[in-house]
């Protein structure tokens, strides 16, 4: 993705001193808004998110039908944006509870992936394999529906990073059973 003037349409005033921001090349030669007074540079970074791979004792996967945009009505892993006071792993534990009613803990981080977002332009998603420690599966705050499905019966998943994380776990479990 190339940074364009449109990427910074809403960056008009300096967050440090309040003066006008001007778009120009920074010290790295990249186009970014810079303050006309104090010289502060605005960096637009990806938004972090966490996604949960939750398996029951039959190795069925939890998926949710999304209530809100992006991709309202689409199927996804339980997931959400990392809050300023959270680590990605803490976010995964919170999103698991909020979206599925299940209590859990992180077993292992599966990796990360970046993808386009219609809201934030770019998201960096961290995938976590989770262990269920309690609760009962039910649709939570951001979900219309939550259910267990086998890997062979997965609905169409709307986020490319979620598809990647599912593929990692599917490969791990199929190698384990060979």
Write the DSSP assignment of 144-176 as a string of letters. EEEEEE-GGGPPPBS-HHHHHHHHHHHHHHHHH
Residue from 37, 83, 105, 145 carrying the catalytic annotation: 145
Model pLDDT, residue 1: 47
The CATH number of domain 9-44 is 3.30.1490: no
**Domain 47-176 carries which CATH code?**
3.90.79.10
Q: Is 69 exposed, middle or buried (0-12, 13-18, 19+ CB in 10 A)?
A: exposed
The whole-model pTM stands at: 0.89
CA 85 to chain centre: 16
Active site residue 153: no
- The pLDDT confidence band at residue 26, using thresholds 50, 70 and 90, is confident
Percentage of the chain lying above the pLDDT 70 cut: 95
Q: How many angstroms separate the CA atoms of 12 and 8, rounded?
A: 8
pLDDT in tens, 42-61: 998 999 999 999 999 999 99
- The pLDDT confidence band at residue 170, using thresholds 50, 70 and 90, is very high
Segments of the chain assigned to CATH 2.20.70: 9-44
Segments of the chain assigned to CATH 3.90.79.10: 47-176
């Amino acid at each position: 993705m190339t940074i364009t003037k449109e990427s910074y349409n809403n960056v008009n005033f300096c967050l440090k001193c309040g003066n006008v921001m001007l778009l120009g090349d920074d010290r790295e030669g990249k186009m970014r808004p810079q303050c006309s007074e104090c010289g502060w540079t605005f960096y637009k970074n990806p938004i972090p998110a966490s996604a949960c791979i939750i398996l029951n004792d039959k190795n069925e996967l939890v998926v949710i039908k999304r209530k809100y945009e992006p991709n309202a009505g689409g199927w996804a892993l339980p997931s959400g944006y990392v809050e300023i006071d959270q680590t990605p792993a803490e976010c995964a534990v919170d999103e698991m509870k909020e979206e599925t009613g299940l209590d859990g803990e992180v077993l292992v981080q599966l990796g990360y992936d970046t993808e386009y977002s219609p809201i934030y332009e770019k998201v960096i998603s961290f995938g976590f394999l989770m262990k269920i420690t309690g609760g009962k599966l039910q649709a939570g705050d951001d979900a219309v529906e939550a259910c267990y499905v086998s890997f062979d019966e997965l609905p169409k998943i709307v986020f490319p990073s979620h598809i990647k994380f599912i593929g990692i776990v599917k490969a791990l479990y199929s190698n384990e059973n060979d």
